[in-house]
Amino acid sequence: MAGLGVNIDHVATVRQARMTVEPDPVWAAAEAQLGGADCITFHLRKDRRHICDRDAKLLKQTVTCKLNMEMSLDPEIVEIAVALAPTQATLVPENRREITTEGGLDVVAHADRVTEVSRALRDAGVIVSAFIDPVGEQILAARDAGCEAIEIHTGAYANASLGPPGANPDPRKIDTTIAEIRTALQDGIDAGLIVHAGHGLTYTNIAPVASMEGFREFNIGHSIIARAIFTGLRRAVAKMKHLVA
């Protein structure tokens, strides 16, 4: 059965909109766990636009389920991750101008650096995952670079399920992107990797992905935090947990 990783970054996004102390993502982590989260995910970005160093330290001290840190290959962030030693680190690309993580990490192009970073993290006892597009050569490169896990980027499917602005979704695009995810899942399992999925997954588009056998974790942020504004985080997490179980 797949676990639910709840990404709490956007609680910190609201806090940072006023540069104040509330809402606290550490409180959000507690609420998410009470709602059934199997994993708390956060991204400590170089620009600290949402989660900051204080949050990372307190999350490490207080989260009692799996703690997953999304991180770039930047030396400063790697040093923090090694010292923090979360349960898992997910290596992601990072670009200052992006609204959220765009595209998977190009492990083929950055194989030497990924190998170096994954070794440092593994030596600190951290499970290393790489966030990659559903592409065969990226899966093999992640394995060869020492990653134990991959997170398949589901953004193309998420965009297809939404459709272009003002138009209906194209069912052929949905089918193609779902087929890519299914193939990548199987390729990852065949390569001996633990396979996760995430990005753009919502209450309405999760079903076809959640029904695939073999995923071990779904990392979901925006949709859960958006719903939590209306229902509270505990209920929002419990509802998504029901959908991925």
* Interacting residue ranges for ligand PXP, rule: CB under 6 A: 7, 9, 43, 70, 90, 92, 100-101, 131, 151, 198-201, 219-223
Is 222 known to be catalytic? no
CB of 245 to ligand PXP, least distance (A): 18
Is 43 known to be catalytic? yes
Nearer to ligand PXP, 25 or 221 (CB): 221
Handedness of CA 190, 196, 200, 205 (dihedral sign): positive
Nearer to ligand PXP, 172 or 224 (CB): 224
- The residue annotated as part of the active site, out of 10, 31, 43, 94, is 43
* Residue 137: how many other CB atoms lie within 10 Å: 12
Nearer to ligand PXP, 95 or 176 (CB): 95
- The residue annotated as part of the active site, out of 10, 31, 50, 70, is 70
User: Quick one: CA torsion of 13, 16, 17, 18, rounded to 10 degrees?
Assistant: 150
Nearer to ligand PXP, 36 or 198 (CB): 198
Separation of alpha carbons 188 and 150, rounded Å: 7
CB of 131 to ligand PXP, least distance (A): 4
Residues 6+ apart with CB under 8 A from 83: 124
Which secondary structure element, helix H or strand E, spans residue 74, and what is its range? none
- The residue annotated as part of the active site, out of 50, 196, 199, 217, is 199
CB of 202 to ligand PXP, least distance (A): 8
CB of 223 to ligand PXP, least distance (A): 6
Is 50 known to be catalytic? no
Separation of alpha carbons 34 and 14, rounded Å: 21
Instruction: Return the amino acid letter for 25.
Output: P
Which secondary structure element, helix H or strand E, spans residue 7, and what is its range? strand 3-7
Q: Tell me which residues are annotated as active site.
A: 43, 70, 199
